[in-house]
Structure 1
Amino acid sequence: MLSQIDKQIFRTWRQYAVEPHIAKLTGRVIRATGPRIAVIGNCQAFGIAYAMKVMNPSAVVDHFSAIGHAKASMDLLVKTLDTYDYIFTHDFLAGHLRGGGDSEELRSRLPKTTLTPAISFAAFHPDLIYIEDKSQPLHGFIFGPVGPYHSALALFAYRAGLSVDEARALFNENVFQALGYFDVWNDAARELLETSKARFGVDLSEDLMKWARRGVFMYSILHPKSFVLFDIARRMWEKVGLKPPSTDFSYYEIHDLARAEIFPVYPGIAKVFGAQGGYLFKLQNHHLANSVGDFLNLPQYLTASFKTYEKAGPERLSNARVDAWIADEQTKNLLLGLARENLKAGLTPTL
Structure 2
Amino acid sequence: MIGNCQGRGLAAVLGLLCPDSRVRLLPVGRLRRAVPDAAALAAELRGYDLVLSQAFAEATLPGGVSALRAQLPQLRLFPTLVFSGFHPDTIYVGEDAALAPSPLGLYHSAIAAFAFLRGLDEARTLGLFREEVFARLGYLDVWDGAARAMRAAAAEEGFSLDREFLLWSRRGCFMLNVNHPKLFVLGDIGRRLLLEAGLPVRDIDPETYLTDDLVRDVVWPVYPPVAERYGVSGSYLFKAKASGPALPALYDLPAFVAASFRMYRAMPRARLSGVRLEAWAADAGVRDLFDGA
Q: TM-score, normalised by structure 1?
A: 0.78
The corresponding residue for 1:148 is 106
> Is structure 2 residue 216 aligned with structure 1 residue 259?
yes
Q: Which has the larger radius of gyration?
A: 1
* 1:242 alignment partner, one of 180, 184, 199: 199
How many Å apart are 1:317 and its aligned residue?
Answer: 1.1
How many Å apart are 1:68 and its aligned residue?
Answer: 4.7
Please give the alpha-carbon distance, in whole angstroms, between the structure 2 residues aligned to 1:327 and 1:209.
36
> Is structure 2 residue 121 aligned with structure 1 residue 157?
no
The amino acid of 2:241's aligned partner reads: Q
Deviations 1:253-293 (A, max 9, x none): 32110111111111111111222211111111152xx3122
The corresponding residue for 1:9 is none
The corresponding residue for 2:262 is 307
The amino acid of 1:59's aligned partner reads: S
Any idea what SS the aligned residue of 1:219 has?
Answer: strand
Residues 91 and 107 in structure 2, CA contact (< 8 A), matched pair in contact too? yes
How many Å apart are 1:119 and its aligned residue?
Answer: 0.7
How many Å apart are 1:191 and its aligned residue?
Answer: 1.5
The corresponding residue for 2:239 is 282
Q: TM-score, normalised by structure 2?
A: 0.93
The amino acid of 1:271's aligned partner reads: E
Any idea what SS the aligned residue of 1:216 has?
Answer: coil
Please give the alpha-carbon distance, in whole angstroms, between the structure 1 residues aligned to 2:120 and 2:196.
52
How many Å apart are 1:301 and its aligned residue?
Answer: 1.1
Residues 183 and 206 in structure 2, CA contact (< 8 A), matched pair in contact too? no
The corresponding residue for 1:318 is 273
* 2:139 alignment partner, one of 149, 173, 181: 181
The amino acid of 1:154's aligned partner reads: A
The corresponding residue for 2:126 is 168
Unaligned runs of 5+ in 1: 1-38, 340-351
| More deviation, 62-71/205-214 | 62-71
Indicate how the Cα distance of structure 1 residues 56 and 243 shifts in structure 2: closer, same or farther if over 3 A, else same: closer
> Is structure 2 residue 22 aligned with structure 1 residue 60?
yes
**1:71-150 matched pairs, under 5 angstroms:** 71-73=33-35, 74=37, 76-96=40-60, 100-133=62-95, 136=97, 140-150=98-108
Please give the alpha-carbon distance, in whole angstroms, between the structure 2 residues aligned to 1:69 and 1:87.
15
Deviations 1:189-228 (A, max 9, x none): 112222222x122222221111111111101110000110
The amino acid of 2:228's aligned partner reads: K
Residues 172 and 268 in structure 1, CA contact (< 8 A), matched pair in contact too? yes
Please give the alpha-carbon distance, in whole angstroms, between the structure 1 residues aligned to 2:91 and 2:102.
12
The amino acid of 2:131's aligned partner reads: E
Please give the alpha-carbon distance, in whole angstroms, between the structure 2 residues aligned to 1:76 and 1:159.
46
Moved over 6 A (4+): none
The amino acid of 1:205's aligned partner reads: D
Deviations 1:115-158 (A, max 9, x none): 11011100000000011335x3xxx3111110110011001100
Please give the alpha-carbon distance, in whole angstroms, between the structure 1 residues aligned to 2:19 and 2:4.
23
Give the paired residue count.
291
Any idea what SS the aligned residue of 1:88 has?
Answer: strand
Among all aligned residue pairs of Structure 1 and Structure 2, give the percentage whose two residues are the same amino acid. Answer: 37
